[in-house]
Amino acid sequence: MRGGHRAGHFIGRISLAADAPAEGYPFDLPVIRWFRERGPLTLQSGVTFLVGENGSGKSTLVEALAVALHLNPEGGSRSFRFASRSSESALGDHLLVTRRPGRERTSYFLRAESYYNVATEVERLDKIGPTPLLPVYGGSGHERSHGESFLALLNNRFGPRGLYLLDEPEAALSVTGVLAVMHRIMDLTARGSQFIIATHSPILLALPGATILEIGDTGTLERSNYDAALPVRMTREFLQRRISSCGT
C-alpha cells in the first residue's frame, strides 16, 4: 500500500449459524444454501467486492453483515437507530462474524436506496444533539444532488482505520463520481480501512488489489479476476456488439 501503510482487516470470516432456518426468504436463496453446505467465507484485507445478478443475494449479504455488526439496517453508524420502514431480512440474526485482532476506529453502512432517510436523520440529530453533526457530513445531504451527498459522506464522514459496508454506491453517481469514489476508497484502504461492497460497476471493480467474489447462478460464491467478473464481461460484450454494428 502507499506510504508503507497496510490495508485494514477487521472482519476475517463470516458464516451461517447452525440454528439458521432452512426455509423461507432469504434462507432459501442459493447463495445462503451454499453457505450452509460449504461453511465460512474468508474475507481478505482491504476491499472485497460482491458481484452477481439482481436477486443473487449480494445486497442481502451486505445488509445482514451490517445487522450482525449492529449497524443501522437502513444505513448509518451504530448510533443511528431510526427506521422508516423495516425491510431487512432475518439473516443478520443468524450470521456469525469472526473478528481479527484490532478494532476499527469507526464503521458505517451505506446503501443507495435509503440514503435520503439517512440524510434526514442526520439533520434531525444535528438539531437536537449536543454537538453539530452536519459538519461531520460536509453539510446537509438534502442541499446537494444524491451523488454529491454520497461524495461528501465519503470525503467527510469516512476516515482512516474504518470498516465500511457499501451497497451499490455507484447507483447515484456519474462516471466521474464513480472514479472519485474509487480514489477515495484507495486512499482510505491505504490508511488502514476495510471495505465490503456490493456493486454492478465495472469501473469500481478495477480498483487495484481488490478481491472480487462472484455469486453464480447456482449460488456459488467464488473468487473472480477482473476480466472474468460478470459486470465486466457484460459491459465488454455490449460495447463490442455496439462497435461491430456501427462498423457495418
> Which grid cell sits at 64?
445482514
Phi, psi torsion values for 34, nearest 5 degrees? -60, -45
Asked if 102 contacts 58 with a C-beta cutoff of 8 angstroms, the reply is: no
Whether 135 is in a domain gets the answer no
Q: With CA atoms as reference, report the closest residue to 111 among 128, 136, 145, 88.
A: 88
Q: Which pTM value belongs to this model?
A: 0.85
Whether 240 is in a domain gets the answer yes
The identity of residue 53, as a single letter, is E
User: Could you give the number of structural domains in the chain?
Assistant: 1
Whether 130 is in a domain gets the answer no
Whether 225 is in a domain gets the answer yes
Position 218 scores a pLDDT of 93
Whether 137 is in a domain gets the answer no
Position 172 scores a pLDDT of 81
- Using alpha carbons only, what angle is made at residue 181 by residues 180 and 186, rounded to the nearest 5 degrees? 100
> Residue 211, SS3?
strand
Position 171 scores a pLDDT of 86
Instruction: Mark residue 50 as left, alpha or beta (left: phi above 0; alpha: psi -120 to 50; beta: remaining).
Output: beta
In this structure, the strands spanning 211-215 and 221-224 are antiparallel
- Enumerate residues 6+ apart whose C-beta is below 8 A from 62: 50, 109, 111, 165, 166, 167, 196, 197, 198
Task: Give tens-digit pLDDT for 46-102.
Answer: 999 999 999 999 999 999 999 999 998 877 777 655 454 555 678 999 999 999 999
Whether 129 is in a domain gets the answer no
- Provide the residue range defining the domain that includes 168: 2-116+158-246
Least confident residue range of 87-101, 189-203, 208-222: 87-101
Whether 48 is in a domain gets the answer yes
User: Between these two residues, 248 and 96, which has the higher pLDDT value?
Assistant: 96
Position 76 scores a pLDDT of 76
Task: Give tens-digit pLDDT for 10-59.
Answer: 999 999 999 999 899 999 999 999 988 998 999 999 999 999 999 999 99
Cell 467527510 found at? 156
- CATH code of the domain containing 211: 3.40.50
